[in-house]
Amino acid sequence: MLGTLAAMGALGAVLCSCNIITPAMYLLVGKPKLDAEHKIADRPTVVFVDDRANAIEQNSRRTRQAIAEKVSAELMIEKLVETTIRPADAMAVSRQRDRQGAILAMDAIGEAVGAEQVIYVEMLSFRGTVDGMPRPNASCRVRVIDVINRKRLFPAPDALEPSRLVQVFGRAANPELYRSRSGRRQLEESLANQLGDRIAKLFYKHVPDELGSRLGPQ
């Protein structure tokens, strides 16, 4: 046992001296956690997923709600906020005003449902293939809006980009799933869940999903 501990210590010393974390080190001590990109305030919060550009080609309303509910649930599970407001309520307010030809600002939507901050998700893509190969993928931009003071909290007001790009790529899917409605629905739900999970992780310390995830935008 002492020999094993000594070997582990020697390996750790070598790896640390090189300032490199290798897969072998991950096996011994686990992956390092990434810090939250934004410390979200514990205030009544609503997650609103916007798809006015029709990035989600099918079942947009259901998929938007699934993404928002996943983010909301994780914020509660991680005890980041005590109160989240139903995403369906914000969607209903937006839909009603859109029909009247008046597109509401995000702070106005938040105010209408009693939220003090809005996590605004703007969909960019939601697809089942990459370069013709069956691999679900999605992307969006995320910002946090202070409803009370009508200002952007995340990214910071002085940030170069006004929103945070989030991208997810699922594993290659079985082509058979694309041939049935139930199979496509399964892929859709899985991708919505994965995107919601990645968005929520902007706000709490977590282990990255895979090696190298720190090298680029998630």
3-state secondary structure 140-191: EEEEEEECCCCEEEECCCCCCCCCEEEEEECCCCCHHHHHCHHHHHHHHHHH
Residues 99 and 150 grouped into a single domain = yes
Residues 24 and 57 grouped into a single domain = no
Q: Which domain holds residue 187?
A: 31-215
Residues 1 and 85 grouped into a single domain = no
Is pLDDT above 80 for 45? yes
Question: How many domains does the chain fold into?
Answer: 2
Residues 26 and 60 grouped into a single domain = no
pLDDT in tens, 113-132: 999 999 999 999 999 877 76
Residue range 42-62: average pLDDT? 94
Residues 109 and 17 grouped into a single domain = no
Chain centroid to Cα 214, Å, comes to 15
Confidence of residue 14 (pLDDT cuts 50, 70, 90): very low
Residues 62 and 3 grouped into a single domain = no
Residues 105 and 189 grouped into a single domain = yes
pLDDT in tens, 15-31: 444 444 455 545 555 67
Give the pLDDT confidence score for residue 130 in this predicted structure.
76
Confidence of residue 173 (pLDDT cuts 50, 70, 90): confident
Per DSSP, the three-state class of 55 is: coil
What pTM does this model have? 0.80
The residues with which 119 forms a beta bridge, in sequence order, are 47, 144
C-alpha distances in Å from residue 107, one per residue of 36, 86, 95: 23, 16, 15
Q: Which two tokens stand for residue 142?
A: 């995320």
Residue range 144-173: average pLDDT? 93
CATH of the domain at 77: 3.40.50.10610
Residues 125 and 193 grouped into a single domain = yes
Residues 39 and 25 grouped into a single domain = no
Residues 60 and 11 grouped into a single domain = no
Residues 49 and 116 grouped into a single domain = yes
Residues 91 and 127 grouped into a single domain = yes
